[in-house]
Structure 1
Amino acid sequence: MSQRNLRNNRYDRAGERPYRRANPLVRLWRWRTEIALLAAAVTVVAVVVHSLGEGRWWPSLILAGTIGVPAASRLGRNWMIAHLWCLVSRHRVQRTCVESGIHTRTGRLPLILWITPTNAGEKALVLTRAGTCAEDFEAFSGELASACYARRVNVARHRKWAHLITIEIIRREPAPGLFPVLDRIYGQANWVPVRSGRDHEEVPDIRSVTTTFPVAA
């Protein structure tokens, strides 16, 4: 049985339209978290400078406590590191889509709707565009794992809506007690794993093979 194979870039041929940069609104959406963090940092610095200029110390102390207390605890550090990996993985997945040709002929990339930490790494909810599907991501699961600095990547599609897929990035052994709620936010019953034929070679059933030996007279 033939397997779907998209290892070769399907748009790397004469006459095909290569990937083109997204419009400003889409780029703002992709960098929304970084923009929000930058705006928050600028606001904090402005508040601190303004309060110190007027001789008031209590706003600075409140801000220092709000930031320092979570950073001083192990749970807070794990939370920040896990969400930092979510930002890294989101951009690495998008870059892999560009390099491997997982986009439409007009250059539209799949849309990462949501990405959350899990007990073993991260899990992203992806909206595929017309012309792409879950099998496209499974065909390049090795590239996705390498780009995200992970051990492996598991791809699953929704049972009812095939345009919704999840990309589970496995980068460590499951850590008990780490983000137990977010790890189950997608649920397990609604998703069907997509397995690649490249990773599962057909092995003949030796039990069905009978060997006969000549019988001496």
Structure 2
Amino acid sequence: MSRNPRHQIYPGVGDLPAVERSSLVTRLWRIRTELLLTAGLVLVLLAALGGGRWVPFIALTSAVSVPAVTRVGRNWIAAHAWCVASRHRLQRLCTETTMHTRAGRIPLILWITPTACGEKALVLTRAGICAEDFEAYAGEIEAACFARDVRIHKHRRWANLVIVEIVRREQTAGAVSPGLERLYGRSGWVSLRSTRTEIEEPPDTTAALLIAA
């Protein structure tokens, strides 16, 4: 199978631009989930240790341990943990491939949410990057996110908005939270699966063989 020509948006490997160090705001945005969880835990611990009030600490530990003893609760925790992992893997993939601008800027993952089969990420592309670039790297996204399949959708009106749907398992109960469909609707997105099929499908040589015979 030949590689998609969109992989060669730069003349050669030696001409690939290095990813520049992001600003502090961008770096904080990328680890926002970890920062919020850490900040919440620190605040609860300070309140418990400083004022001798252990009720917030007990409430926090109960909020984590009680759902963990049920199957639905474990699925919910695991699904959101996969969201954090997939977001970091997508960001790393963009830096390791040509899915960044010549200035070294990678697309922004605005939001990622669990689905019954995996995760969906809402991505804001940079100038010079489009949904077709994500479709060209669908195989690399699958490998990076440990997924069975990847489906790319672009918005009908705003082409700079892309949905990366990661499929990693059969449908799981209790893992789903309000998804992107509720905010943006299903009719506003166009699937690029047909584009990938045309690129990856091997040529049909049956007719040529019959003519030659």
Distance 1:109 1:174, change over 3 A: same
Higher mean C-alpha displacement, 169-178 vs 119-128:
169-178
For residue 159 of structure 2, what is the aligned residue in structure 1?
162
The CA RMSD measured in Å over matched residues stands at 2.7
Equivalent pair of 2:79/2:175 in contact (CA under 8 Å): no
C-alpha separation between the residues in 1 aligned to 2:174 and 2:44? 32
C-alpha separation between the residues in 2 aligned to 1:86 and 1:173? 16
For residue 172 of structure 1, what is the aligned residue in structure 2?
169
1:94-173 matched pairs, under 5 angstroms = 94-173=91-170
Distance 1:16 1:116, change over 3 A: closer
TM-score scaled by length of structure 2: 0.84
- Aligned residue identity for 2:39: A
Equivalent pair of 2:113/2:177 in contact (CA under 8 Å): no
Question: Alignment identity in percent?
Answer: 44
Q: Structure 1 or 2: larger helix share?
A: 2
Equivalent pair of 2:119/2:166 in contact (CA under 8 Å): yes
For residue 188 of structure 2, what is the aligned residue in structure 1?
190
Equivalent pair of 2:72/2:173 in contact (CA under 8 Å): no
Gaps of 5+ in 2: none
SS of equivalent to 2:199: coil
Gaps of 5+ in 1: 213-217
Equivalent pair of 2:123/2:161 in contact (CA under 8 Å): yes
C-alpha deviations, 1:107-127, integer Å up to 9, x for none?
Answer: 111111110000100000101
Equivalent pair of 1:12/1:18 in contact (CA under 8 Å): no
TM-score scaled by length of structure 1: 0.82
The answer to whether residue 94 in structure 2 is matched with residue 91 in structure 1 is no
C-alpha deviations, 1:34-76, integer Å up to 9, x for none?
Answer: 111111121122223235xx4x554443333333222222222
C-alpha separation between the residues in 1 aligned to 2:142 and 2:67? 30
SS of equivalent to 1:157: strand
Higher mean C-alpha displacement, 176-185 vs 85-94:
176-185
Higher mean C-alpha displacement, 96-105 vs 183-192:
183-192
Higher mean C-alpha displacement, 78-87 vs 39-48:
39-48
For residue 64 of structure 1, what is the aligned residue in structure 2?
61
For residue 46 of structure 2, what is the aligned residue in structure 1?
46
- Aligned residue identity for 1:159: R
The answer to whether residue 16 in structure 2 is matched with residue 19 in structure 1 is no
Distance 1:172 1:59, change over 3 A: closer
Distance 1:106 1:171, change over 3 A: same
- Aligned residue identity for 1:152: D
| Largest Rg, 1 or 2 | 1
Cα distance, 1:78 vs. partner?
1.4
- Aligned residue identity for 2:153: A
- Aligned residue identity for 1:169: I
